[in-house]
A and B are shown apart, each in its own frame.
Chain A
Amino acid sequence: MSKTTNIMIVGVGGQGTLLASRILGNCVIGEGFDVKVSEVHGMSQRGGSVVTYVKYGEKVWSPIIDKGEADIILAFELLEAYRALPYLKSGGKIIVNDQKINPMPVITGVKEYPADILGKLKSSVNVTSLDALSLAKQAGSIKAVNVVLMGVMAKNTSIPYEKWVETVKDTVPPKFLEVNLKAFETGYNL
């Protein structure tokens, strides 16, 4: 069918996945692609699993990504990366922040947080993992985790570096620009 690049961004409500998908979407239109970004608002944002999709190419129809169709999964949290695994295309890549956030069933002791998720992912698919939290701290703010991750992902797309920097400049408030540019670079040069 239509050949599109499919990127799935997953995380926990409140981690800034929405901003990441918007930066990505805006970056892509400048390149002359058709693009669709599918977001989630409302209930699930309250600390629940959050999934957004970004698709671009000559023509995009469905805004959602089916199982086995994501070229890249950008995961803000380990368990969410694992949950999203079936969505990865064969030959696709997972970029994962190795932070763990316990979901309520784990907190209350009803369920266990699966052991060695990173090992399990690495044994079956192509994975880049990083400690985005520390990298963001080094860049100047722990709030810039999402932009560090964007940087890593940017490296894995065909969109030129300058275009990304320009989009970050357009999307982030001036007050936080320096930190965010530094965070982006950290991720990009990882």
Chain B
Amino acid sequence: MKKLLLGNAAVAQGAYEAGVRFVSSYPGTPSTEITEIIATYPEDEVYCEWAPNEKVAAEAVIGAAIAGGRAMTCCKHVGLNVMADPVFTDSYIGVNGGAVFCVADDPGMHSSQNEQDSRHYAKASKIPMLEPSDSLECKEFTRMAFDLSEQYDTPVFVRLSTRVSHSQSLVEIGERKEIPLKDYKKDIPKNVMMPAMAIKRHVVVEERTDKLIKFAEDTPLNKIENNGSKIGVITNGISYEYSREALGDKVNYFKLGLVWPLPVNSLKEFAEKCDEVYVIEELDPFIEEHCRAIGIKVHGKECFTLLGEYTPAMIKKAVLGEDSAEFTGINEEIPARPPVLCPGCPHRGTFYVLSKLGLTVSGDIGCYTLGAVAPLSSVDTTICMGASISASHGMAKVRGKEFNSKLVSVIGDSTFMHSGITGLSDIVYNKGANTVIILDNSITGMTGHQDNPTTGKTIRGEATKQVDLIKLCKALGIEHVTVADPFDVKNFEAVVKEETARDEVSVIIAQRPCALLKTVKYTGHCEISDKCRKCKMCMKLGCPAISVDKNGNVSIDVTQCNGCGLCIGVCPFGAIEKKD
């Protein structure tokens, strides 16, 4: 049976068919759906969970594999930074049951804070990396990754990119193959990585790489398509689909499905038959540098770009010199439509207050990063998950008490569990006096509503123990922990003032659930009455439902407003009313 599947759904299906038993991940666009789909498979076949962060997920997967079961973790490109530590050493340990690390890059940064190229990790950790270019290959490559892992005693990367993860194409659905657990045997030289053992395992890793390079020369993961042309194209992933569309049969293709290690002889042979060779790959010149290193003359980044995504039109122009299709231009400036906090978003109340008080805000990653967007323009810094707390520690230490009294960190509930706790303990331990606001909207919002250790539910929706944020903060040594509703702006403002003034570390838990949760039921909508004095206080909320015309008249768009009522409390003249 053929089905239209997202690349991510196809990865899940491939893992399922390969008999995967254990999946642990932390969400991250564009990888999230893989694990969500795995959670729909029967529980007695696949155990599946959200871990608090990628490092924990990867370690759990490594343990499951050592214990003899096939296991997988999925993350976005920056998630691989978080899990890099166990990954590099697992390269030495190898596996017992197959282990797959699936990582999704985001060229074009549709939903990310940087544009790193994960292929460097494969080379650096000496772990083979497969890269599919459509959904069918997503399924097949994931299945093969498990076999390869066991065959070469190594974890295996599957690299995706946004366009592969989030495009649907046709996939033949197969049956699950039950793979029995491998025997577990205590094996200190292989599984305990201390110097004496690791020195010997490094030798094994280098021998394995030699074998994998031989494998790369004629694996069916790599495909040569000879169209009798004098132009050759070496490509991978989504760039193959773009090239195929742009160049058709006019060139020969060397499509790399195994992006590390790369073959040597077969690439040389391919190049020898061509007058011109182009390397077509998004992001870094990874394949290009390999080609140059083995003496193949290629055109690469000088014809393309290091930035963002490629397109078929760009490739057509660079290789064939042909212009793209004609199109109708627009000769006026079109206002951009950046993402904004949703109507009813609890974070809006928090940022309204922080902005009003003119505080320096050490920000973090989540929906609340949008607190940086005008008119709230509240967030000062965003680095990576968890950095809000630790960075504010550094800020306070170099700039002193005065600065600290106007400084807060904001961090979401999921992000706090991911990597905020360690930063907070740093502040307490090292006698800081920062104020940290945990934005507890009862869910992992940004990536589309995943449960986490603070929500009281597992990935399969079962009730479980819920982290008590108040007790947790107290256990770290923080005496002042206050829970406040960010939609009660007066009280929230008073709490923020009091806690920032305090010369001790304090935590404010801003508690109000995400407006998109099914359990949250705002009804009706708000309306501006004739009491309005056009003071535009409500405009400071940056609510997409409220706008002002040229004459200063404020109105509320009923199709956008969900009746959350935040604006009612902000209006100094009582001019906003709730209607059914």
The residue of chain B having its C-beta at the shortest distance from the C-beta of A142 within the complex is B559
Interface string of A42-63 (1 = CB under 8 A from B): 1111111100000000001111
Q: Do residues B559 and A42 form an inter-chain contact, with CB atoms below 8 A? A: no
A-B contact pairs, 28 of them (CB 8 A): A25-B168, A29-B170, A36-B169, A37-B167, A37-B168, A40-B110, A42-B111, A46-B341, A47-B339, A48-B338, A61-B241, A61-B244, A63-B163, A63-B241, A67-B325, A79-B334, A82-B330, A83-B334, A87-B327, A88-B327, A101-B559, A102-B544, A104-B374, A105-B335, A105-B338, A107-B547, A108-B542, A109-B548
- B167, B548, B559: the one contacting A133 at CB < 8 Å is B559
Given A2-B248, A26-B4, A35-B4, A107 and B337 contact (CB-CB distance below 8 Å): no
Q: Does B510 make an interface contact (CB < 8 A)?
A: no
A38 at the interface (CB under 8 A from B): yes
Q: Which of A63, A107, A109, A111 contacts B167 (CB 8 A)?
A: A63
Identify which of B4, B111, B447, B544 contacts A37 (C-beta below 8 A).
B4
Interface contact B111-A41, CB-CB below 8 Å: yes
- List chain A residues, Cβ under 8 A from B544: 47, 101-102, 104, 107
Q: Which applies to chain B's interface (DSSP): helix, strand, loop or mixed?
A: loop
A61 to B134, CA, bound (A): 9
Any A CB within 8 A of the CB of B324: yes
- List residues 299-344 of chain B with CB under 8 A from any CB of chain A: 311-313, 324-330, 332-342
In the bound complex, residues from chain B placing their C-beta under 8 Å from that of A142 are 559
Roughly how many angstroms separate A103 CA and B447 CA in the complex, as a whole number?
22
Question: Chain B 223-256, CB within 8 Å of chain A: the 1/0 string?
Answer: 0000000000000001001101110100000000
Which of A46, A62, A105 is in CB contact (< 8 Å) with B312?
A62
Query: In the complex, how many angstroms separate the beta carbon of B566 from the nearest chain A beta carbon?
Result: 15
Chain B residues with CB under 8 Å of A42's CB are 29-30, 110-111, 446-448
B168 contacts across to A, CB distance below 8 A: 22, 25, 35-39
What chain A residues lie within 8 Å of B542 (beta carbons)? 104, 107-108
A contact residues around B246 at 8 Å (CB): 1, 62
Of B330, B333, B447, which one neighbours A85 at CB under 8 angstroms?
Answer: B330
Taking the nearest CB of chain A, how far is it from the CB of B338, in angstroms? Answer: 6
B167 touches A39 (CB 8 A): yes
A64 → chain B, closest Cβ, in Å? 7
**Bound complex: CA A144 to CA B231 (Å):** 51
Given contacts A104-B544, A107-B546, A108-B375, contact A68 B242 (CB under 8 A): no
Q: Which of A69-123 contact B (CB under 8 A)?
A: 69, 79-80, 82-83, 85-90, 99, 101-114
CB-CB under 8 A from B185, the residues of chain A are none
Contact (Cβ within 8 A) A104 B111? no
Q: B539 on the interface (CB 8 Å rule)?
A: yes
What are the residues of chain A within 8 A of B375 when measuring CB–CB?
108
For the A-B complex with A60-B169, A63-B169, A108-B374 known, give 5 more contacts whose Cβ atoms are closer than 8 Å.
A2-B248, A41-B111, A45-B339, A82-B330, A103-B338
Does A101 lie within 8 Å of B560, measured CB to CB?
yes
